[in-house]
């Protein structure tokens, strides 16, 4: 495991930045590695130019995809704060998601979720784990597209069923056949989740291994976007 952890980040070029040096998230703004809005901005750490993630990472996917668990580790690797949208909705409402559904109904939850995510996306660089339904809201989707890099954690039905069994507090799965619910949600949501910038399979494997794959895909996505961006100084 130590080897896996060591390999995360460093071998992929996402080296850790020193905390609280220079700019808001520890990066001292430096030269741009290439032109365009989505370039790998380099921060200075000693003599080294360190690539940093230029936008918030927004994790999307169905319940049980691993958004919170993977998000926490990913945030650590990218030296960004981790934020869980469901927790923020609960804080804002002053009660649990279960209670929001029960007392006010799903529509009220969705409205609150939209407002909370809009505020979070406006509050600086972060790794944001969204609730499974958030990306289905077209306004939220547009905000995510404008301000973040979306990553769909795609998982197979059996994996989702197994993982969601560990918690009994998800209102949408409190029924006689949670497997059928998940299957229906897969059909409805997977075509929309597929609009995410990056798609990574969330499998039954060590979280560190999934995070390593995410960092690798993120790095190549950023490279492609950077290469495609028009040059600032032709
Ligand atoms: C929901 C997913 C939940 C939570 C709410 C609704 C959904 O979040 O937002 O129960 O519609 O898929 P997780 O995906 O984090 O479980």
Which CATH number goes with the domain that contains 108?
3.40.50.300
When pLDDT is averaged across residues 137-146 and rounded to a whole number, the result is 98
Q: Cβ(170) to ligand 1 under 6 A? A: yes
**CA 194 – CA 60 distance, rounded (Å):** 10
Residues 149 and 170 in one domain: yes
What are the pLDDT digits (tens) for 77-107?
A: 999 999 999 999 999 999 999 999 999 999 9
Residue 82 shares a structural domain with residue 42:
no
Question: Which position has the token pair 């306004």?
Answer: 139
φ, ψ of residue 77 in degrees (nearest 5):
-65, -35
Residues 82 and 186 in one domain: yes
Tell whether 148 and 40 lie within a shared domain. no
- Verify whether ligand 1 is closer than 6 Å to residue 112 (CB atom): no
- How far is the centre of ligand 1, averaged over its atoms, from the C-alpha of 97 (Å)? 9
Whose alpha carbon is nearest atom 2 of ligand 1?
132
Exposed, middle or buried: residue 57 (CB in 10 Å: 0-12, 13-18, 19+)? Answer: buried
pLDDT recorded at residue 228: 87
Helix (H) or strand (E) holding 204, with range, is none
pLDDT for residue 153? 98
Residues 181-215: pLDDT tens digits?
999 999 999 999 999 999 999 999 999 999 999 99
What is the extent of the structural domain holding 115? 56-213
| Cα–Cα distance, 174 to 180 (Å, whole number) | 12
- Phi first, then psi, for residue 184 (nearest 5°) are -65, -45
Residues 184 and 124 in one domain: yes
- The reply to whether 8 and 115 lie within a common domain is no
**Full strand arrangement of the beta sheet holding 56-60:** 82-84, 127-129, 56-60, 148-154, 198-201
Distance 1 CA to ligand 1 centre (A): 30
Let me know whether 92 and 10 are in one domain: no
Q: Is the CB of 63 under 6 A from ligand 1?
A: yes
Structural contact between residues 97 and 168, judged by C-beta atoms closer than 8 angstroms:
no
Structure confidence at residue 210 (pLDDT): 97
Rounded CA separation 129/215 (Å): 16
Is 42 in the same domain as 113? no
Same domain, 97 and 208: yes
């Amino acid at each position: 495991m130590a080897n896996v952890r060591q390999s995360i980040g460093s071998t992929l070029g996402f080296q850790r930045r020193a905390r609280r040096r220079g700019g808001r998230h520890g990066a001292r703004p430096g030269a741009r590695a290439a032109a365009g809005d989505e370039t790998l901005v380099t921060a200075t750490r000693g003599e080294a130019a360190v690539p940093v993630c230029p936008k918030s990472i927004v994790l999307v996917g169905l319940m049980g995809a691993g958004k919170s668990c993977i998000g926490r580790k990913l945030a650590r690797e990218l030296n960004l704060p981790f934020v869980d949208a469901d927790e923020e909705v609960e804080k804002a409402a002053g009660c649990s998601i279960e209670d929001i559904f029960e007392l006010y109904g799903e529509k009220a939850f969705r409205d609150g979720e939209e407002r909370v995510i809009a505020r979070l996306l406006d509050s600086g660089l972060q790794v944001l784990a969204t609730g499974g339904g958030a990306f289905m809201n077209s306004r939220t989707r547009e905000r995510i597209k404008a301000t973040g890099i979306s990553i769909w954690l795609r998982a197979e039905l059996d994996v989702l069923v197994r993982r969601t069994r560990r918690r009994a507090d998800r209102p949408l799965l409190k029924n006689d056949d949670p497997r059928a619910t998940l299957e229906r949600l897969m059909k409805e949501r997977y075509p929309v989740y597929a609009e995410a910038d990056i798609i990574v399979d969330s499998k039954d494997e060590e979280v560190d291994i999934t995070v390593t794959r995410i960092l690798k895909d993120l790095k190549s996505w950023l490279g492609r976007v950077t290469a495609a961006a028009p040059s600032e100084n032709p």
